[in-house]
Amino acid sequence: MAMERLKGIGNQFYTLNLVPGKKVYGERLVKDANGEWREWNPFRSKLCAGLHNGLMAEHFAIHEGSNVLYLGSAEGTTVSHVSDIIGEEGLVVGVDVSPHVMSKFSALVESRENILPLLGDANQPETYASELEGMKFDVIVQDVAQKNQAEIFSKNWELFAHPKSVGYLVIKSKSVDFTKPKEQVLKQEMKALGKHIKVEQILSLEKHEKSHFLLCVRWQ
């Protein structure tokens, strides 16, 4: 059985460093018998916050060899950990709309061969669907600060998810409507996901990010 590339010790999670010796954002590096691990900060990565708030590491859909579509990759702090976990056999496509941030992301891409950068608007997946050449992804992660978060997710889900895919959708309620209470926004966005998507788990990330939720979804 392949060695786990994600582990939790005490109250911290660590990912096995794909590029030993190198830090990505000043995180702590820890060596043990199996190799070098990078400490994963739940205050910076929503996925890690999810692991701290009820997402079971054993059921975590991102594992060695996974194909991941990451919408809203920004400078790549979370994507770097995803890249660690999926290892050399896996693939993560990082999509972001901002050129300023994508140029910083490209520096990360140079050193990791399992990351593909994509400058594009997640709100218009048709614009990059042809570039992905019909590829389907095991996991689709979305963390964007837009008003129509659920709509963006379901558009990408329809195009890029295969029957067994798992989705991790971060709901930033302040970006949707900062005047409404977060529970109301959550309900609204869950409804907007549509009938084809089944929400399996709702996690509140309140301890690490105010007014954020993480939804685990699959096909209905």
Residue 201's CB: how many other CB atoms inside 10 A? Answer: 14
Q: Is 97 annotated as a binding residue?
A: yes
Complex with another protein: residue 102 or 176, whichever CB lies closer: 102
Which member of 12, 106, 175, 188 binds another protein (CB under 8 A)? 106
x/- letters, 26..65, toward another protein (CB under 8 A): ---------------------------------------x
Q: Residue from 35, 43, 103, 164 that binds another protein (CB under 8 A)?
A: 103
By CB under 8 A, name the one of 10, 58, 100, 126 that touches another protein: 100
Helix, strand, coil share of the chain (percent; to 5): 30, 30, 40
Handedness of CA 193, 125, 217, 17 (dihedral sign): negative
CA dihedral 129, 172, 61, 157 (to 10 degrees): -30
Distances (CA, A) of 157 to 22, 44, 141: 33, 25, 10
Binding residues for another protein, per CB under 8 A? 65, 89, 91, 93, 99-100, 102-103, 106, 109, 113, 116-119, 131, 133, 178-179
